[in-house]
Amino acid sequence: MTNTALLIIDYTNDFVADAGALTACKPAQDIAPNIVTLAQQFVAANAWVYLPTDVHTPGDPYHPESKLFPAHNVAGSWGRELYGQLAPWYQQNQHQPQVTQFAKTRYSAFAGTDLDLRLRERQIKTLHLTGVCTDICVLHTAVDAYNLNYHLVIHRSAVATFTPAGQEWALNHFATALGAEIAD
């Protein structure tokens, strides 16, 4: 696993909790144990775990999402905190050298971040993607990763989105257009 990394994308209260501002609700809540199990497996194997986490400023007139969605994942808010079982897992493991949470301001974890640089420094070739939303942030991260020549593994039981149709479309797209391996 030395050339692999796990990405846990946007698994926050606003995207997952019932009271979240832009929540996928139960489908997203149901994947919590699978995400934590994968995270624990990666840490136990001394592999890399990254938590790219959406962050916004309320009322930002320049951010394109301000016109599309209600305010969500606002810096310093309950909504931006990690959801459920992932929160204590991260608290316990955040000091591990291979575990890193970082802010992102666009759908893709690569857009405007140093993720690609970090991965290349560590000679990572394969990315395992988990989190929410399958057909938005996970998808855009996967497309960028594909364009950067990373091998992709999408964990079907550790990604979720708003609708079953969006979930199935994205999983099919990962496999047929990005050559991703779909794992259960």
Picking from 80, 108, 88, 83, the residue whose alpha carbon sits closest to that of residue 7 is: 108
Architecture of the 4-183 domain: 3-Layer(aba) Sandwich (3.40)
Residue 147: count of CB within 10 angstroms of its CB? 11
pLDDT of 76-112, one tens digit each?
A: 999 999 999 999 999 999 999 999 999 999 999 999 9
pLDDT above 70 covers a percentage of the chain that reads 99
- Residue with more model confidence, 142 or 62: 142
**Interatomic CA distance for residues 45 and 36, integer angstroms:** 14
pLDDT confidence tier of residue 124, bands split at 50, 70 and 90:
very high
- Residue 153, CA atoms < 13 Å, CB-side half-sphere: 16
Mean pLDDT of the chain: 96
Contact between residue 146 and residue 179 where contact means Cβ atoms under 8 Å apart: yes
pLDDT confidence tier of residue 1, bands split at 50, 70 and 90:
low
**Mean pLDDT value of segment 57-67:** 84
**Interatomic CA distance for residues 64 and 106, integer angstroms:** 9
Picking from 49, 70, 44, 48, the residue whose alpha carbon sits closest to that of residue 59 is: 70
pLDDT above 90 covers a percentage of the chain that reads 90
pTM, full prediction: 0.96
